[in-house]
Structure 1
């Protein structure tokens, strides 16, 4: 679950005036350390083990093989610091890993390539979005994935990479980084498909039922779309920077794959612009339905008033208390006036129907 924004600010305020690299754990109340998993793959074998003692971790890395470490749960700052000391990770990087609100970014040092991204998932019970803070640390002998909490998003890829006969030698650390980012970006497409379905549903309701009030749903879709865009835009910028700096950690023949991710992200950003136009059109359609309903009400009231105004005039005339009104003494005057009133009302009604005013 996401930490409330005011809680984040309260936690981060304690850092004011502290030296750079001071660790503030924004996951302390929402995440616990679950496991540290090491997956090593070579051309003819693989290992998948849980690491308990970080001191022995460097010796468990296979030489001349792909080593992928998955650190799940960022609530234990001591374990994260311990892992950082084993791999000599800069405290500033550890600080970014522990910052739940850190925007996606790409950064390269002499020892590592650091990449931050968010996994976005929709909570079906609350119909709201949740974020999973994910960081990738690419070194020369390994790649480390830091997960805010466990996710099944990478399970199929783990099965595929562990199947030796399907794991060619090109499963290098930078290629794994590409695969993991690509899986997350592909997951963004699922969110857009859900958004597309909801917008189509809203449009169908508005077109079929002018009395439907979909304003709250339209506003919700607008908020969700803005939330998705705020998380995708920095990822696109991070990938662009990754390609621009010509990272030494990414092999030349694998750069094409990252270009493909950049294309996908650009397509998603273009889709957000299209969806924003669709939401604007739906809002205008909702306002038009409101206007049409109001016009129908006003038309009905106008027709009723138009029919009764002359009838009211007649009854008003004969309601005046003049002493001398000759027709009042006639026996047939009362039924004659009633017949005239009814006939006049019917005539005006038929005239309006003929003109198709209603």
Structure 2
């Protein structure tokens, strides 16, 4: 139901802290029918707003090159930023420009909308956050629910002074929190595998290996994404702490505490996933050890059976040789005798020979 609802949401949306409402449209012209931005935004583009002024939030989902060019021209966005967004630059980073700063984060998206879906590995896409002193412009991927979650969070919270920097913090916090279900699911799967390793039969152990491999790939992919965010967040916090008159676009004061809290959540998630990876690695080692021991035991059993079969075949080969010689079209001993004396004599010789050979093999523990 949620997927269907998100699929129906238009690509362009505009949110104002003054009305606490969002308007949406399928194109820029439909969002602003007069061909220009709202008068309030135009005033903010010309001058730095006061702290009490409302801020706006403009989001474009899956932007095309034409959309990026139009927003770049209207919002005075640097061409390097526009190039990164057009090329879907995958590297996570924070960059500062004269009138805004850019944060690029990879976030999880609905796998059914992913262009290159890999089984067992969460799908991700780049999200770009441009933070001005008067508002925020975001370029979000399809299948991302962070925009709607943060807007709902703004409507429910009335004890905060909403600013463009706070919206940026809320988006970062939402992106980091989106990895928590992946961590919880991985922990549950790791515990289930660990419990099954020592009680599973050989067939079950063989089935556990693909599950372990898929889980380790998921954890590795998630850790790689989170480590990149940790570096970006550390650099962002340092820039905020060192912000001066040369970098007026960076937030300061209480918002740094919020960013520190997000950083703590990120470190905790990375630590948890690292611990899960150690558990699943130990389980994988135990599975491989069990398979190795089982294969060795089967190999020893097969070798023992084959040695016994070889001994028996060696005992019966002379009997086949004698019967083969007697079956030739030549004169053999006892051919002229009409009785069965020769026949039973030969059979008795065979039996005595086999008994003697098997006794000797048993004595030397060959059987």
TM-score of the pair, normalised by structure 1: 0.72
1:86 aligned residue (59, 68, 74)? 74
Q: Is 2:257 the partner of 1:256? A: yes
Aligned residues: 314
The residue aligned with 2:131 is 138
Partner SS for 2:224 = helix
The residue aligned with 2:91 is 103
C-alpha contact (below 8 Å) 1:70/1:147 kept by paired residues: no
The residue aligned with 2:15 is 39
Partner SS for 1:245 = helix
Q: Structure 2 vs 1, CA of residues 69 and 342 (structure 1 numbering), >3 Å: closer, same or farther?
A: same
User: What do residues 74-117 of structure 1 show as CA deviations (whole Å, max 9, x unaligned)?
Assistant: 43222322222222111111222223243111122231121111
The residue aligned with 1:174 is 165
Partner SS for 1:103 = coil
2:319, 2:90 → 1: CA distance? 82
C-alpha contact (below 8 Å) 1:74/1:80 kept by paired residues: no
Q: Over aligned residue pairs, what C-alpha RMSD do you find?
A: 3.9
Deviation at 1:150, TM superposition (A): 5.3
C-alpha contact (below 8 Å) 1:160/1:167 kept by paired residues: no
The residue aligned with 1:277 is 278
What are the within-5 Å matches in structure 2 for residues 1-358 of structure 1? 34-42=10-18, 45-50=19-24, 51-53=31-33, 55-57=36-38, 59-60=40-41, 64-121=52-109, 123=111, 127=119, 128-149=121-142, 151-163=144-156, 166-207=157-198, 208-211=200-203, 212-246=206-240, 247=243, 248=248, 249-305=250-306, 307-308=308-309, 311=312, 314-315=315-316, 321=322, 329=345
1:58, 1:232 → 2: CA distance? 40
Partner SS for 1:171 = coil
Q: Any unmatched runs of 5+ in structure 2?
A: 1-8, 25-30, 326-331, 334-343
C-alpha contact (below 8 Å) 1:41/1:65 kept by paired residues: no
C-alpha contact (below 8 Å) 2:63/2:139 kept by paired residues: no
Partner SS for 1:129 = coil
User: What do residues 107-161 of structure 1 show as CA deviations (whole Å, max 9, x unaligned)?
Assistant: 2223112111111136279744322321111111112222122532343432232
1:256, 1:59 → 2: CA distance? 30
Q: Any unmatched runs of 5+ in structure 1?
A: 1-32, 353-358
The residue aligned with 1:16 is none
The residue aligned with 2:28 is none
Q: Structure 2 vs 1, CA of residues 74 and 121 (structure 1 numbering), >3 Å: closer, same or farther?
A: closer
C-alpha contact (below 8 Å) 2:146/2:171 kept by paired residues: no
Deviation at 1:70, TM superposition (A): 3.3
C-alpha contact (below 8 Å) 1:36/1:69 kept by paired residues: no
Q: Structure 2 vs 1, CA of residues 265 and 332 (structure 1 numbering), >3 Å: closer, same or farther?
A: same
Q: Which has the larger radius of gyration?
A: 2
Q: Structure 2 vs 1, CA of residues 143 and 75 (structure 1 numbering), >3 Å: closer, same or farther?
A: closer
Q: Structure 2 vs 1, CA of residues 60 and 203 (structure 1 numbering), >3 Å: closer, same or farther?
A: same
Q: Structure 2 vs 1, CA of residues 101 and 221 (structure 1 numbering), >3 Å: closer, same or farther?
A: farther
Deviation at 1:293, TM superposition (A): 2.9
Higher alpha-carbon deviation: 60-69 or 313-322: 313-322
1:133, 1:339 → 2: CA distance? 81
Q: Structure 2 vs 1, CA of residues 291 and 118 (structure 1 numbering), >3 Å: closer, same or farther?
A: same
C-alpha contact (below 8 Å) 1:73/1:150 kept by paired residues: no
1:278, 1:89 → 2: CA distance? 47
C-alpha contact (below 8 Å) 2:108/2:144 kept by paired residues: no
1:330, 1:78 → 2: CA distance? 101
TM-score of the pair, normalised by structure 2: 0.70
Q: Structure 2 vs 1, CA of residues 59 and 344 (structure 1 numbering), >3 Å: closer, same or farther?
A: farther
